[in-house]
Amino acid sequence: MDDVSDFLSTHFSSSGDANQTEEKGCTATLKAFIDYISLRETENFRSRKEENKNSITLTTIHQSKGLEWDVVFIVQANDSEIPLLHEYNGTVKEAGCTLEEERRLFYVAMTRARKKLYILHVTVDSHRQLLPPSRFLREIPGHLLDIQGEGAATKYHEQPSGDISFDHAEGETSTEKPIVNQNETSPYPELMQSCLANDFLKRFEIDDRAVVSHIFHHWAKRQAFQIPKRLLDKIKFVIDERLRGKGYKRKDVLCKLKSLLSDDEALGYAEYVIKWEQIPIDKRSHLMRERQEHFQKQRIENSMGSSEPTPKQISYLRSLGCTITPTSRLHASNLIEKYKSL
């Protein structure tokens, strides 16, 4: 209203202008007002741009098209965000155009950086669920990556040891079981138990898993429910109470959870949650880092081991003096690391 008052007082103060407006309508007045606002906002934008030239710019990938910065941070580069898991079962259309569009969008974000690019992803969410990094990160050649933070000890394209193979991380919707060599002992017994226990969570849609996980972990902290069967009985009692109430909005999730509480997988998940809550916080944090590194190595091995080496990898190997022809991206990455260390 202040903008309108200022405009009218400076442009239409005479009675002659008012009579002219009544004869021709308000179209000319409206156009003049829009021009007045546009001119003023243009000047304001220029002044703000000058004042904030050394500030941080927050933007979306779509809005960043055509723009560039010396340093760019891409945050939350997880598989649930890019590519966006938008369908009911938490998957994307692998064979359709959706995945390609998401890949191009991620490429747009990466190419906004002139000098340095930082890509960050979340390891574990607030409900203790492992969040896998974006599948597009696996397509970046290993020799171009400089991994820092908790993942620094494990390179994305490092050849893992052992005979455990996980095709998907814990947070995804695949129901494949881990394949373990019967003659070998897993170096991560906690990981094996976690993976098997979370088959129970995979029976729920991706948006509902947080609700189920929260209920189990909330009551598993209580000393009175440190026995799996007693924990399941308590959860069933809580579900009945909430279903009788009128204010709870996720009753469909509770009904499905109640119908699955008698399964062996529910009992296994209860055992896992109780043992997890009994672990000291410092050791729990260490285990979460180990789990994330373990799943990353297995995912990278499965992906790169079945992919053809890229022309850039082959060219880079030739520049290092390597005469071996790599059979896969993983093989090429290992050769690059080997020849770089010579």
- Indicate if 228 and 312 belong to the same structural domain: no
pLDDT for position 180? 39
Q: In whole angstroms, what is the distance from residue 184 CA to residue 122 CA?
A: 31
Cα–Cα distances in angstroms (integers) from residue 230 to residues 83, 211, 248, in the given order: 40, 20, 24
Six-digit token pair at 286?
């260490």
Q: Is residue 149 included in any domain, yes or no?
A: no
- Indicate if 223 and 311 belong to the same structural domain: no
- Indicate if 224 and 257 belong to the same structural domain: yes
Is 41 in a helix, a strand, or coil? helix
- Ramachandran bin of 321, using left for φ above 0, alpha for ψ from -120 to 50, beta for the remaining angles: left
Q: Is residue 215 included in any domain, yes or no?
A: yes
pLDDT for position 183? 41
pLDDT for position 117? 92
- Indicate if 255 and 335 belong to the same structural domain: no
- Indicate if 221 and 314 belong to the same structural domain: no
Q: Is residue 252 included in any domain, yes or no?
A: yes
As for how many domains the chain has, the answer is 3
- Indicate if 198 and 249 belong to the same structural domain: yes
Q: Is residue 97 included in any domain, yes or no?
A: no
Q: What number of other Cβ atoms are within 10 A of residue 262's Cβ?
A: 10
Q: What number of other Cβ atoms are within 10 A of residue 150's Cβ?
A: 14
Q: Is the pTM of this model over 0.85?
A: no
- Indicate if 240 and 198 belong to the same structural domain: yes
Q: Is residue 113 included in any domain, yes or no?
A: no
pLDDT for position 219? 92
pLDDT for position 172? 37
In tens, the pLDDT along 214-226 reads 899 899 988 899 8
Radius of gyration, CA atoms only, the chain:
28
Residue range of the domain that includes 43? 2-51
- Indicate if 210 and 286 belong to the same structural domain: yes
- Indicate if 261 and 330 belong to the same structural domain: no
Residues of the chain with pLDDT under 50: 87-91, 93-96, 153-192
Q: Is residue 90 included in any domain, yes or no?
A: no
- Indicate if 204 and 294 belong to the same structural domain: yes
pLDDT for position 187? 41
Q: Are 295 and 301 in contact (CB under 8 A)?
A: no
- Indicate if 292 and 201 belong to the same structural domain: yes
Q: Is residue 118 included in any domain, yes or no?
A: no
Question: Dihedral through CA 170, CA 174, CA 176, CA 180, nearest 10?
Answer: -30
- Indicate if 289 and 320 belong to the same structural domain: no
For the chain, the farthest-separated pair of C-alpha atoms sits apart, in whole angstroms, at 98
Q: Is residue 216 included in any domain, yes or no?
A: yes
